[in-house]
Structure 1
Amino acid sequence: MAAQTHSAVDSLLGILSRAITNEAKLLGAVHGDVQFIKDEMDSMNGFLLHLTKTDSEHDDQLRAWMKQVRDIAYIAEDCIEIYLRDMAPPDGDSGGLWASLRHLPVLLWTAPACHRLAAKIRELKVRVRDVGERRLRYGVTVPGTTDVKRTTKPPGQDNRNEEKMRDDFLRALEEEVTAMKMSLTSMSEASICQSFSKAIDLLPPDLPSEADATIRPILEKCSPGDVEFKCRTMFLRALFAYPPSTKQELENLKKKLEERADEPRELVMIFCYRKLSTQQKSCLQYLTAFHNEKVISRTSMVRRWVAEGLLGKEHERTPEEAGERCFSELLFRGFVRPVGTGDTGTVKSCVMDESVKDFILKIAKSENFVADSLPAHLDRQLQIRKIVQLPRPGKQQVDHWRNIRNLCGGGTSRLAQDGPGASDSTSASDVKDPMDMLLEFLKSLPEIYRLNVLDLGGCRGLKKRHLKSISKVISLKYLSLRDTDVSRLPARYIQALRLLETLDIRETNVEPSDMKHIFLPKLKHLLAGRRLKTSGGTGDTSTVMTSAEVSLSTVEMPRRIGGMTNMETLCHVQVSNNGTELEGVVKLQRLRKLGLVVHGNDNTTKYLGRVINGLAECLRSLSIWVTDGGALDISMQRVTSFSASSLILENLDIKGKTSLPSWLQELRKLANITLSDTQLKDEDQLRLGNLQGLRCLRIRRNSYSERVVNFMEGQFKALKILAIEGDTITRIVFAAGAAPNLEKIVWTFGRTEKQVPSSGLEPLGQAPISGIEYLENLRVVEITGDGFDQQQLLELDRAIAAHPNFRDIKYLRARDVIVAAE
């Protein structure tokens, strides 16, 4: 509970610091109240931080006090955020007489509300003082120093080899588990534990020298009969990730496993949970909000963590970077399991095993002082998703709906409750639409409640009146309309969400022009675009043709994009024919990921060059879709001050006719390149081969004009992953010394695509990959679809069987598999 409360207070302190800095925006008396609240919360935060570093159990008095601190932190954050929002100049005006005059009507209009908020802040000051005094009155004290845990630096601070060490450990663990599953029937529990020797040998040396004698007995008692070995592997992962486990800690776990032999999984999970950092515990508990989700998107989860204030800056990382790090830790330690992985090995989505779900639910409930009940913010997120995921009412669903009419109630909610004299017969017209139920639920929330996240992904029946009501939830920081049937996005509604940081409208039919007039000063992530399959042109100017089968429907660039200076992710938006909106994009000096849909003309060339040059020191990912069948020139010849060495670009994705410029070879950090419809030639491939840091190359439809791809000696030195999708390429030839670090080759075709020889120059039945014997580090070869004839596949089988490391290569030959677009 200390972890969750500490995160809430940490988030509030950030808001308070900003409020005090902007003293001019505070009414006279409010400034003193805010300063007092900050000083008190600073002291409480120090107390909470100490609690997160102790192993002692929290008694009821301490838990009750922490719940009071957390609740008041949430309320105070909302009050001050709204107060600052209403006092701030609109539409990004930075100051001056004209800005003041423009803002005067707004100040007059919001003055009564601001004074009411000022009164609430005065009340909060009194409540904060009372909470501080209550701790002393009831003797809530700091635990003794003997209970303080040993701490260590977060992984990755000083050790550059950490990634390799972790990979080696996980590989050894996976190999041992695979071997044990194959021999499970002939192995005893004792012999199973002995089989973990290789993984135990790779544990860090920070463990006490006597630990090995305790680790094996713990493994033996972990979970007898656990055919998946998840309990044991989670325990070993925790030891690897957080090695300073004392001999006494391990002895205590061993003793508990002996005393409570029927609860090994829970005891091990508690041990692993205590090895998490404060932020990691908070983020893990928040996964309760995903309890009913089949699959969890990594990026959506991280952005929700940030919106809820669970992450702050650490070690010069942004909250998003801290979130990615936190996800990696939870993944490594086995609390979440990957289900969707990209070509580069990046985990796109994950799931929680049922045992982990139950454990997190129990932990989250223990954080709440109300017995057997989730904290309010998690419970309400669960209720929102339950409503959103309900089917729309129909004649065949009446009985189903009758059973769930009190879904969110327990007698306390106003949602769809039967009135007096209600009969058993219910017609479809009497059943409420899920979105109407959601609006009633939102109205039933307390007057001041921090609803930061609203995920409507996948819902149907979203109308303009629903958006109007949602726009009144002024505390929203994260709004997902992804894969909904929303068709309009009225600016007057969306702009009311002045605190919004993430707006996700992917896979929707929002009118292209709707986004053009929206201005959101705090927006960090704008995600748009809907991929369509088509066989020809549509005549719709908002639909971008990229190949014979794939198109992208998206929204236009916001007119005042230059004023949204907090923007970090802008994907994918349409740029007009003249490209002038890109002048505003240059001003976004925090932008890390940019996806543009552009026209292949001189205007775009000029402005895009300025964007690449102007964002050289912050932009890490660039995606360009070229429309109209035109060719785009990104040689940067028109940018006189351009210096490629200053670019920190790591990912480049190009769809459409574009030649690869020579300056790409100077990018030392460029690690991932994806090409589609580029129709590159041999000279372009030579430039790719000279990239020093290129680790993953994806060659998609019509991206290469030649039928044979030749990897020459000394090229592609850092390449680890090569992915080819449905193309006219018939062969890949590796020369000796080419791509020496290549680990994975993926070749994918659709159901109807067949390779054909090139003008009779390539004989039928020739192995599609030549020189495979030179790839000493090759580990995976995947062939998906019907691209090759049987003789070609037999030749490939022989080539792989003759490889020196044949036993270490995972060779997959799947047929008729449709690979979903990322």
Structure 2
Amino acid sequence: MEAALVSVATGVLKPVIGKLTTLLGNEYKRFKTVRKEIKSLTHELAAMEAFLLKMSEEEDPDVQDKVWMNEVRELSYDLEDAIDDFMQSIGDKDEKPDGFIEKIKNSLGKLGKMTARHRIGKEIQDLKKQIIEVGKRNARYRSHEAFSKTVNATVDPRALAIFEHASKLVGVDEPKAEIIKLLMEADVRASEQQQQQQLKIVSIVGSGGMGKTTLANQVYQELRGQYECWAFVSVSRNPDMTKILRTILSEVAKKDYATTEAGNIQQLVIKIIDFLADKRYFVVVDDIWDVDTWDIVKRAFPATSSTSRIITTTRMNSIAHLCCSSFNGHIYNIRALDMVHSRQLFHTRLFKSDEDCPSYLQEISEQILEKCDGLPLAIIAISGLLANTERTKNIWNQVKDSIGRALERNPSVEGMMKILSLSYFDLPPYLKTCLLYLSIYLEDSTIEKKGLIRRWIAEGFIHREGRYTAYELGERCFNELLNRGLIQPAETNLYGIVKSCRVHDTILDFITFKSREENFITLLGVPILTNENQSKVVRRLCLQGVEEGNSTILTAGLVLSHVRSLILVRGLVEIPSLEEFSHLRILDLSFQPLEDHHLEVIVRLFQLRYLNLQRTKISKLPEQIGHLGCLEVLDLRGTFVKELPASIVNLRKLMHLLVRSALEYSLR
């Protein structure tokens, strides 16, 4: 697969070079001053792009190289913005005015455009000087070697096997039986009165990547049929309590309350209590991080239902003790895999069912597994890396030596990050970019494959290549991330095709850190993620929960005029002003309190490629929507729009128009 148009490694150097080549064509001959600067710049940028691609394979480049890489990448974004402004300013050169007044207006307009062209031309000259200066400061264009890479066009069934049903999960049978026993047998510590009056709870505790969620889910799947109602809900670090309670109510009542206005927290708690009051229920509350969250959730469960059961999972012993003290409970400390099960998981990913580990790799395999220390996520990550390398003793030794002794020092954090870092730097540049983009999603999100691939394409990470469409190549990227164990399948159809995925929270931590480090995505909201070394010039902005009057505070001191992607999640109270976002390409306002008047600004975002208005209060699209000539995806599902304006036919690049079935096209 060719290098992506846009990547975390090279920024937008590739499309910049393409646009510079276009500006050297016959159509732009009259702009002689700018052409002189462009010609000398194109070759310099091409050499820099090749060097950046090589450097992106280096896990720990020296400080000078890293500074240089960041400077070139950031300058590439500024250069593309300047070129786009220049091309926009001359976009209507062929229009011929009629009438005296129109000629006067046109002359004044041309004068303004000439001023704009002169200003933008000077910007391009200044940026060229900066590029040359940066290149001189780092005059070491050298190549580096990395592990060999392959791209799989389909999902490797061995990668899916480790996430499939209980019969194929490794090392789960014994702990599952132990938890079921704790849930079902009488508690000798409790009095007879306590046993009759209190529901029973088991809290599974262990570090990230140990398999707590997988274990809880297996117990849940086996036992839920024995109860009148059941629910499985993931909480995560920054919970939306209203959404969580709606999910519990939806699942136990078997009605869809998740997307309706079903009341505030207190009202939802009362509704759940009333529904569960005389029923036997089984609920799993996964991934609890703080006391306040549990204090709210536990109120929804009638404590006197002695025949009901609850499982919680958490990383913190204090939370596990709190959960158990609320009811009649047991703490279950999840154990790491023993060597037999570690080996089984490792081999399941790397070798076919009728294939053994080659004798020349057996000793190295054992050494790698010792360093993984029985952590399932570490084994999955490292085996995913090895599955995409040659089976040679030399390469496997390189991987083993790269892990170092980090896992032995701190297996829950430092070593895991080292494992994930190895897997990350083994990815080709386009896959690094696609993976880091997943940091825009909240913890425990179910990510639809189709929607994700459309975003990748609109961002420019993937493009048509040869006989393959951009979407087909997007599927290949999605499948390879599955194969490497960096994303997990969430839903599959009847034919075994993965329709959606999830990102383990430990992996999400890692890619969020890398996104901020590379100034790839800026995340603001709850919690407010800060990094004293992070660039003030924002390229992609993701607002994760902004309360009324707080968006200005969060973005204070940041330069927003070069933002290319604006993504709002978690139901904001306040929509930020879009006046400053003149270079937007991606705009996701889905599920936000958006109304028709907000579109007045949106139709002036001429570089926009992806516009998601799903589940907003929009009822009418403006006629000027046809001015968005670059728009490729328009999502109107769940809005109040009943007809489309005639100018929709001007959207020549539109590839996906997502609407409800009753929508009509109108030539009004």
CA distance in 2, matches of 1:500, 1:377: 25
CA distance in 2, matches of 1:375, 1:203: 49
Q: Which residue of 2 aligns with 1:408?
A: 554
2:12 maps to a residue whose letter is A
Kindly report which structure 2 residues correspond to 1:58-77, keeping only aligned pairs within 5 A, or say none. Answer: 58-77=61-80
Q: Kindly provide the CA deviation profile for residues 244-263 of structure 1, in whole angstroms up to 9, marking residues without a partner as x.
A: 67133223134334554432
CA distance in 2, matches of 1:24, 1:486: 40
Q: 2:584 aligns with which of 416, 441, 451?
A: 451
Q: Which residue of 1 aligns with 2:39?
A: 35
Is the 2:171–2:337 Cα contact (8 Å) retained in structure 1? no
Deviation at residue 489 of structure 1 after TM alignment: 0.4
1:237 maps to a residue whose letter is G
CA distance in 2, matches of 1:88, 1:336: 43
Is the 1:204–1:240 Cα contact (8 Å) retained in structure 2? no
2:152 counterpart of 1:155: yes
Is the 1:9–1:45 Cα contact (8 Å) retained in structure 2? yes
TM-score in terms of structure 1 length = 0.51
Q: Which residue of 2 aligns with 1:222?
A: 372
Deviation at residue 200 of structure 1 after TM alignment: 3.8
- Name the SS of the counterpart of 2:501 in structure 1: strand
Deviation at residue 218 of structure 1 after TM alignment: 1.9
- Name the SS of the counterpart of 1:498 in structure 2: coil
2:491 counterpart of 1:488: no
CA distance in 1, matches of 2:645, 2:514: 41
Q: 1:255 aligns with which of 397, 404, 407?
A: 404
CA distance in 2, matches of 1:117, 1:306: 30
- Name the SS of the counterpart of 2:10 in structure 1: helix
2:576 counterpart of 1:438: yes
Deviation at residue 142 of structure 1 after TM alignment: 3.2
2:380 counterpart of 1:233: yes
- Name the SS of the counterpart of 2:405 in structure 1: helix
Is the 1:482–1:504 Cα contact (8 Å) retained in structure 2? yes
Q: 1:269 aligns with which of 420, 431, 436?
A: 420
2:490 counterpart of 1:339: yes
Q: Which residue of 1 aligns with 2:173?
A: 182
Q: 2:657 aligns with which of 516, 527, 533?
A: 527
1:17 maps to a residue whose letter is T
Cα gap change, 1:317 to 1:460, in 2 (>3 Å): same
Q: Which residue of 1 aligns with 2:126?
A: 126
Q: 1:193 aligns with which of 338, 342, 359?
A: 342
Deviation at residue 56 of structure 1 after TM alignment: 5.0
Q: Which residue of 2 aligns with 1:381?
A: 541
Deviation at residue 274 of structure 1 after TM alignment: 1.5
CA distance in 1, matches of 2:26, 2:468: 24
Is the 2:537–2:559 Cα contact (8 Å) retained in structure 1? no
Q: Which residue of 1 aligns with 2:140?
A: 141
CA distance in 2, matches of 1:110, 1:290: 44
Kindly report which structure 2 residues correspond to 1:584-599, keeping only aligned pairs within 5 A, or say none. Answer: none
Kindly report which structure 2 residues correspond to 1:413-424, keeping only aligned pairs within 5 A, or say none. Answer: none
Deviates more, 1:370-379 or 1:520-529: 370-379
2:41 maps to a residue whose letter is I
Cα gap change, 1:17 to 1:252, in 2 (>3 Å): same
2:84 counterpart of 1:81: yes
Q: Which residue of 2 aligns with 1:472?
A: 604
1:130 maps to a residue whose letter is Q
CA distance in 1, matches of 2:25, 2:611: 29
CA distance in 2, matches of 1:39, 1:135: 12
Q: Which residue of 2 aligns with 1:296?
A: 447
Deviation at residue 503 of structure 1 after TM alignment: 1.5
Q: Which residue of 1 aligns with 2:665?
A: 556
Of structures 1 and 2, the one scoring higher in RCO (CA 8 A, sep 6+) is 2
- Name the SS of the counterpart of 1:503 in structure 2: strand
Deviation at residue 455 of structure 1 after TM alignment: 0.1
Is the 1:489–1:511 Cα contact (8 Å) retained in structure 2? no
Is the 2:83–2:124 Cα contact (8 Å) retained in structure 1? no
Q: Which residue of 1 aligns with 2:648?
A: 518
2:154 counterpart of 1:8: no
CA RMSD of aligned residues (A): 3.9
Cα gap change, 1:200 to 1:476, in 2 (>3 Å): closer
1:363 maps to a residue whose letter is K
Larger radius of gyration: 1
CA distance in 1, matches of 2:595, 2:558: 26
Cα gap change, 1:379 to 1:132, in 2 (>3 Å): closer
Q: Kindly provide the CA deviation profile for residues 471-500 of structure 1, in whole angstroms up to 9, marking residues without a partner as x.
A: 2333322111111110010112x2332322
Deviation at residue 57 of structure 1 after TM alignment: 1.6
Higher helix proportion (structure 1 or 2): 2
Cα gap change, 1:328 to 1:211, in 2 (>3 Å): same
Deviation at residue 183 of structure 1 after TM alignment: 3.1
Deviation at residue 459 of structure 1 after TM alignment: 1.2
CA distance in 1, matches of 2:408, 2:653: 53
Deviation at residue 326 of structure 1 after TM alignment: 1.4
Cα gap change, 1:71 to 1:195, in 2 (>3 Å): closer
Deviates more, 1:188-197 or 1:103-112: 103-112
Is the 1:507–1:528 Cα contact (8 Å) retained in structure 2? no
Deviation at residue 178 of structure 1 after TM alignment: 1.5
CA distance in 1, matches of 2:555, 2:68: 28
Is the 1:474–1:499 Cα contact (8 Å) retained in structure 2? yes
1:495 maps to a residue whose letter is G
Is the 2:519–2:538 Cα contact (8 Å) retained in structure 1? no
Deviation at residue 73 of structure 1 after TM alignment: 1.4
Is the 1:74–1:450 Cα contact (8 Å) retained in structure 2? no
1:517 maps to a residue whose letter is S
2:362 counterpart of 1:212: yes
CA distance in 2, matches of 1:244, 1:100: 66
1:167 maps to a residue whose letter is P
CA distance in 2, matches of 1:318, 1:71: 29
CA distance in 2, matches of 1:13, 1:558: 40
Is the 1:8–1:310 Cα contact (8 Å) retained in structure 2? no
Cα gap change, 1:189 to 1:89, in 2 (>3 Å): same
- Name the SS of the counterpart of 2:611 in structure 1: strand
Deviation at residue 407 of structure 1 after TM alignment: 5.6
Q: Which residue of 1 aligns with 2:220?
A: none
Cα gap change, 1:270 to 1:216, in 2 (>3 Å): same
Deviation at residue 303 of structure 1 after TM alignment: 2.3
Cα gap change, 1:318 to 1:22, in 2 (>3 Å): farther
Is the 1:463–1:486 Cα contact (8 Å) retained in structure 2? yes
Q: 2:516 aligns with which of 352, 361, 365?
A: 365
CA distance in 1, matches of 2:666, 2:654: 15
Q: Kindly provide the CA deviation profile for residues 136-174 of structure 1, in whole angstroms up to 9, marking residues without a partner as x.
A: 23x45234x5x4114345334xxxxx65xx225643785
1:438 maps to a residue whose letter is P
CA distance in 1, matches of 2:591, 2:496: 27
Is the 2:492–2:498 Cα contact (8 Å) retained in structure 1? yes
Q: 2:503 aligns with which of 352, 356, 369?
A: 352
Q: Kindly provide the CA deviation profile for residues 72-111 of structure 1, in whole angstroms up to 9, marking residues without a partner as x.
A: 2112222323433443459xxxx8xxx7668998796365
Is the 2:75–2:131 Cα contact (8 Å) retained in structure 1? no
Is the 1:83–1:114 Cα contact (8 Å) retained in structure 2? no
CA distance in 2, matches of 1:108, 1:519: 30
Q: Which runs of 5+ in 2 are unaligned?
A: 1-5, 179-334, 521-529, 561-570
